[in-house]
Amino acid sequence: MIDTKQIRKDFPIFKNHPSLTYLDSAATSLKPKSVISKITEYYEHYSANIHRGIYHLSEKASEEYEGTRSVVASYINAPSQSEIIFTRNATEGINLIASTIGVTNVSEGDEIVTTVMEHHANFVPWQQLAFDVGADFKVIDIDENGSLPLKVSGHNSKSKTLVEISDIISKKTKILAIGLVSNTLGTINPVKAIIAAAKKINPQILSVVDAAQAVPHMKIDVQDLGCDFLVFSSHKMLGPTGVGVLWGRHEILKQMPPYQYGGDMIRSVALSDTTFADSPHRFEAGTPNIAGVIGLKEAIAYLENVGLESIRKHEHALTKYAMEKLTETFKECITIFGPADPDKRAGLVSFQIKGVHPHDIAQILDEHDIAVRAGHHCTMPLHTRLDVAATTRVSFYIYNDAQDIDKLIDGLKIATKTFSKKS
Amino acid sequence: MSIYADLILDHYQYPRNNTLVKGATSKVDLDNPLCGDKIHMEIREKDGVIQEIGFTGEGCAISIASASMLTEYAKGKTKKELLEISTGDVLGLLNIELTPNRMKCALLSWEGLRKLLI
């Protein structure tokens, strides 16, 4: 069991905002003191640039920075730390893949496959790549339950019309880009089974997994998933903003052209030619976010100390409670999007309440110190598919408890009361 | 202090001029993709005077209330008078304090009105 009262003591924001109910961790998580202190430690104790510094401050900074790589590798069970590339965020990780191996591997007439529930970060780069090279951009639809209606092993879609993977993936499919957890529906996609089925049809397919909403909340094993690339962001997992991770399979990374050119990514430079460094440095041009990367290591230490299994259980319980309370209180006036079964979803709930616009809900909740997100959550194709302009989303993490949900329900009651028609 | 004052709620729930205009001389469609607000506005102008103005669409309370109040204000005014309305004047009509994120909602109909006039 997670002791949220104890955990909240580790998050300085609650000292400054004691009555804050923060239900927007899917956008960005709060940060524990240990992460903030680690960032300060870098700036106060060994604030030097990494690599090539022949003095002890630089060596210490390099050691802390590179140390994060091995911590991240073991956190997602990557075979080698040279497969861990630091980016600005998950978005940059996907753009890195699209603009390097995406460009060299996808040609006119090929196919790129993604899903309608993707975050724009895992949608727009592929759509634009398809436009640029003249490839087909294929988008897998969702069923009425907010799940992918695919016939793959171990995936019990209740959809009336199941789709065979072979109807979507062909020998021409070069990229399969798919999110592990939907940031709007909360759906946990059967990514492992989908990739396995896709690779049976076309072993050459490159699978890209957007794990930004998964890595902070559940144990992820890249080898078990069988994917080729996986991206996530530090700031959603208690870490600093400005840092993302791209994991890629070694055999693929070693064939990939560089992403950006400049310092730190070269082996040698001459007037007539440049040879590039190997992965990961080949893909990390320029001075990176050193403090941020070092801070991420501390965030992972915090998460591992709490335990990912406990985190998953905690969020599952909160999601179940929130869904029950919302349905019980607002009955037919509320529409909850995504799977009805909490086992099939991560710790977030998006909904609409009849007669109250999501922005008005968020505004009224803010008046009661409850932070939620309202809008399209960077999933406009999904909102179009659901035929709604905007939704309100609440998302949970280790510092949330049932009381937060009770406060949310009270706040929502005020919102509906405010908008009940006076005559 | 809640921004959902009675006046705002009244204009949201019972919007004025929430209709199309017969013999409209100018029409415009605007949206705010961020929150999905969509508004369609029409006017009938004669000799530089706004004889009729109306709007349809969907949006949050702030965008609908502001369209309702602004159209109410605009009816019968001259083009010249209306082009002089500033964003501050619109916020004055609403008589509430808005955060930057909600400004766009409040000013969507103002933007529409200007497009109809220019």
Q: What is the mean pLDDT of residues A210-229?
A: 98
Contact (CB<8Å) B105/A359:
yes
Structure tokens belonging to residue A61: 């900074």
Residue A423 has pLDDT above 60, yes or no: no
Distance, in Å, from the CA atom of A83 to the CA atom of A407, rounded to the nearest integer, reads: 43
- A371 near B CB under 8 A: no
pLDDT of residue A158: 67
A-chain CB neighbours of B37 within 8 Å are 389
pTM above 0.90, yes or no: yes
| A2 CB burial (10 A radius; 0-12, 13-18, 19+) | buried
What digits encode the pLDDT tens for the residues A244-259? Answer: 999 999 999 999 999 9
Distance, in Å, from the CA atom of A386 to the CA atom of A74, rounded to the nearest integer, reads: 38
Report the DSSP pairing between strands A111-115 and A173-179. parallel
Hey, where are the domains in chain B? 3-117
Closest chain A residue to B101, measured at CA: A359
Query: How many angstroms away from the CA of A95 is the closest CA of chain B?
Result: 23
* A381 pLDDT tier (thresholds 50, 70, 90): very high
Distance, in Å, from the CA atom of A105 to the CA atom of A84, rounded to the nearest integer, reads: 22
Q: What is the mean pLDDT of residues A334-347?
A: 97
Structure tokens belonging to residue A160: 């009336």
- B105 near A CB under 8 A: yes
Hey, where are the domains in chain A? 4-23+307-422, 39-304
Q: Which of A24, A353, A356, A357 to mutate to test the interface with B (most CBs of B within 10 A)?
A: A357
Distance, in Å, from the CA atom of A215 to the CA atom of A220, rounded to the nearest integer, reads: 6
Catalytic residues of A: 378
Whose structure tokens read 């960077």? Answer: A378
Nearest CB among B13, B59, B62 relative to A421 is that of B13
What digits encode the pLDDT tens for the residues B7-55? Answer: 999 999 999 999 999 999 999 999 887 777 899 999 999 999 999 999 9
How many CB atoms within 10 Å of residue A165?
20
What CATH superfamily classification does A4-23+307-422 receive? Aspartate Aminotransferase, domain 1 (3.90.1150.10)
What digits encode the pLDDT tens for the residues A316-331? Answer: 999 999 999 999 999 9
Q: What is the ipTM of this complex?
A: 0.88
Instruction: Return the percentage of chain A with pLDDT > 70, whole number.
Output: 98
- B33 near A CB under 8 A: yes
Q: What is the count of residue pairs from A and B with beta carbons less than 8 Å apart?
A: 50
Q: Do the Cβ atoms of A79 and A223 come closer than 8 Å? A: yes
- Tell me the average pLDDT of chain A: 96
- Helix extents (H) in B1-118: 6-13, 61-74, 79-83, 87-94, 100-117
A-chain CB neighbours of B65 within 8 Å are none
Residues in contact with A332: Cβ distance below 8 Å, sequence separation at least 6, in sequence order: A354
Whose structure tokens read 């659901």? Answer: A386
A-chain CB neighbours of B60 within 8 Å are 357-360
A-chain CB neighbours of B3 within 8 Å are 363
Q: What is the mean pLDDT of residues A56-75?
A: 97
Nearest CB among B9, B34, B59 relative to A357 is that of B59
Domain formed by A39-304, architecture: 3-Layer(aba) Sandwich (3.40)
Report the DSSP pairing between strands A244-248 and A84-87. antiparallel
Distance, in Å, from the CA atom of A6 to the CA atom of A397, rounded to the nearest integer, reads: 14
Of the candidates A61, A113, A121, the residue with the CA atom closest to the CA atom of residue A246: A121
Q: Tell me which CATH code domain B3-117 carries.
A: 3.90.1010.10
